[in-house]
Chain A
Amino acid sequence: MMTLKTPMRSMKKTLVLIAAAAGLTLAAGPALAEGGGHHLRDGGFSFDGPFGTFDQGQLQRGYKVYREVCASCHSMDLMHFRTLAEPGGPFYDAHQASPAENRFVKALAKEVQIADIDTETGEPVMRDGTAADRFPHPYPNATAAAAANGGAAPPDLSVMAKARHGGANYIYSLLTGYHAVPEGLTIRPGQNYNAYMAGDLTPFWTGDAKHVPAGGFIAMPAPLRAGQVTYDDGTAQTVDNYAKDVAAYIAWASDPKQVARKRAGVGTLIFLLLFAGVTYLSYRRIWKGVAH
């Protein structure tokens, strides 16, 4: 028996060690997180966790909020209309021949005008969008975007959920974080107070130095109002729902393959665990009778 106990013990040690290494690397992550805001609100999203999936209705509502509200200032340069119909996407239809053939997406693309050149004359023209087109840019260029928004170009939203700590919860918190301005806080012109924006408000605070309000200044005024976007599925048309839905949509757009990847991950882990078991049995068999 002794021959088996020894490797078992050292194996356990190695496992503990690998777990410790993983723990350390994970612990290093939050260490890098920047402060400056309240603890984020938890949107309770359906796609959280290893088995979470997107709620297609929520993604469709989120797309609608993006298209009708956000898209007037924010680009999504990395998105094509066809992406909306990829498996797991807001408009995926099991009967579609391909994402580019999806009827919803073709109709949605047709609603926007795309700058192009006439293939006969080379003259600049505007034409209906197709599923293969990228989302159109709200401004002709970055300078125009900045000029129209008090000097700060609205950031592209394609990967926004990956570009901020907290992902979808951050977006949800920010969009619902336009709290009443705390008394004693001087707002800079062209800025708005948001409880979840990164920043340090100390220089603008005249109250108790020990209780500087959390949050920061943001150039974007509160973008959402109740009833602003019409939901066709009976979901309450509240700012909270709009914020949650558009956060889910942006989280999907930031990594459209995430649910498929998690699903593949479950299969991969099951395979690896079985493979590890078989290999461990082979190991015991091969080393049988060798004292070490």
Chain B
Amino acid sequence: MSDHESTYVPKTGVEKWLDTRLPIVRFGADYMSLPTPKNLNYWWTFGGILALCLVTQIATGIILAMHYVPNTELAFASVERIMRDVNGGDLIRYTHANGASMFFIAVYLHMLRGLYYGSYKAPREMIWIVGCVIFFLMIATAFLGYVLPWGQMSYWGAEVITNLIGAIPVVGEPILIWLRGGPAIDNATLNRFFSLHYLLPFVIAGCVVLHLWALHHAGQNNPVGILIPKDRAKKDMVPFHPYFTVKDGFAIILFLILFAVFVFFMPNALGHADNYIPANPLQTPAHIVPEWYMLPFYAILRAVPDKFGGVLAMFGAIGVLFILPWLDTSKVRSMRYRPTMKIFFVIFVVVGVILGWCGGQLPDAAVVPGMPSFTLIDGKLNSYLWLTRLATLYYFAFFFVILPLVGLKEKPLPIPATISEPVLSGSDEHKG
């Protein structure tokens, strides 16, 4: 995977024997000694954090699968039994449930870091695209997993989301029945969702290998965003271990503190109370909402009056990420040197949060209660419906209008020739 020169020297007889047959120790040693730009900041630690999240989800998930029963009559009680009668089961289950939220916090920050520092630009397009595949698989896996406890939100969430497939003209209905394993969501649906929920994390793990392979081949981006010339490698790079194992390690521990606060002290704060009511196909909950990490996309879905149009917009919101490398016309990677783009980026982050907020509200509710408003087409202007539409408009405009145009028009700040330059100019006793 690593393309840098190997510095590994087999010492023992066993290592020498192995090195000529299966150089796995060399592979690991080279992997850990990867030259890494020394200016990576804490935003770069989310890769390691995400690796930890995936391992945590798989490890806890395998244990949960030993006790979980994928049957509509038994699933709800089996999840509760895990938390009551399995040794440490409450921690395992709460870690898995909150782990999904932690995973998404980390992946959103990881993606925003890539967006801000232009990590998707040549020669790193494949790292970004494989990352988008991972993100899409994560959404699918999280959705499937949320159905498994067979609570009210599990059932009705599955109902709403699978129904979206039915909105596809002509082929929608047959695909819907094929996907559900019958005309309605039932035991067949739960069984296949369990099977796929177990499968997809390993597909994600495979994609992570590709993601890292591409990363090690193209080299890490860095906050300055310039490619490090070969002759500067000695000055500007440090081996991954121990420099970034310790830095990532520190960030991972801080992240674990946040994780632990949720698991130990408020394990249900991020979930919805209705999911502790066993699924009842005859009783629709007052307010069907997905988990928080899906809310921005759920908001986009509801922003479009036409059902199929909404489905296209929702998948389009994820799909646009795949072509991002070709929408950005700027030659400069890091937004540190793109003052105009930086402002649009901050607005984009705020809009993302607004979309998430809107996704959890009733579309007809007033954004500012009591403020007089008039009806625009199909809803009051002072309603979450129109706020969502406004935010959705910005979301797509950011990718299709702002990124291409600003890249052509803006005048970037001067870019340092080396990554050491900003450090040197910022201090006169840098050798410290």
Contact = CB atoms under 8 A, between A and B. Distances in A.
Interface residues of A, number: 63
Interface string A163-189: 111000000000000000000000000
Interface in A18-54: 18, 21-22, 24-29, 31-32, 34, 50
Interface in A179-235: 198
A257 B81 CA distance: 12
B250 A291 contact: no
Contact of B41 (A1, A10, A28): A10
Nearest to B254: A276
Contacts of A266: 264
Contacts of B356: 24, 28
Given A22-B258, A25-B101, A268-B260, A290 B287 contact: no
Nearest to A285: B246
B90 to A, nearest CB: 4
Interface string A1-15: 111101100110111
Contacts of A4: 432
A279 B91 contact: no
A28 B426 CA distance: 40
A78 interface: yes
A158 interface: yes
Interface string A276-291: 1001101100111111
Contacts of B238: 290
B42 A14 contact: yes
A163 B432 contact: no
Interface string B248-261: 01110111111011
A26 B361 CA distance: 15
Contacts of A32: 272, 287, 289, 360
B242 interface: yes
Given A1-B432, A26-B269, 15 more contacts: A2-B426, A2-B427, A25-B101, A27-B357, A28-B356, A28-B357, A32-B287, A78-B77, A162-B273, A163-B274, A256-B84, A269-B260, A279-B249, A283-B249, A290-B243
Interface of B: 38-39, 41-43, 45, 77, 80-81, 83-84, 90-91, 94, 101, 105, 109, 238, 242-243, 246-247, 249-251, 253-258, 260-261, 263-265, 267-270, 272-274, 276-278, 286-287, 289, 292, 295, 353, 356-357, 360-361, 420, 423-424, 426-427, 429-432
